[in-house]
Amino acid sequence: MERDWHIFGEHSIMNRSFLIIIIPAIAVALGYFFVLRWLGYALEPFRFVMAGFMAVAAVILVQWYQRRKASRSKQ
C-alpha cells in the first residue's frame, strides 16, 4: 500500500530523503562534540558549527542546481 504524500508537496520524497541523512548527521556531530569535550579536548564550537553549516549549504546548493537543471531539460 503506497501512501499519498501529495499533501506535503511535489518534492516530498526528496525532502524526506534529506531528512533521513541530515538528522542522523546532526546527532553524530553532537555526539562527537560532547564525547570529545568529555575526554578533555577543547573544540572551538564556532568552527565546528560552521563546518556543519557549510555541509548543509552544499547539499542545498546541489539540490537547487539539480532542480534547475531538470527544469531546463524539460523545456
In a domain, 40, yes or no: yes
Closest to 47 (Cα-Cα) out of 64, 35, 29: 29
In a domain, 2, yes or no: no
Q: What is the DSSP letter of 7?
A: G
When divided into structural domains, the chain yields a total of 1
Q: Does the residue 3 lie in any domain? A: no
First to last CA, the chain: 34
Report DSSP letters for 8-65, one per residue.
G-TTHHHHHHHHHHHHHHHHHHHHHHHHHHHTT----HHHHHHHHHHHHHHHHHHHHH
For the whole prediction, is pTM greater than 0.95? no
- State residue 70 phi and psi, 5-degree precision: -65, -40
pLDDT tens for residues 6-61? 555 555 666 777 778 878 888 988 888 889 889 998 777 788 788 888 988 888 88
Residue 63 lies in a domain: yes
Q: Range of 67's domain?
A: 11-74
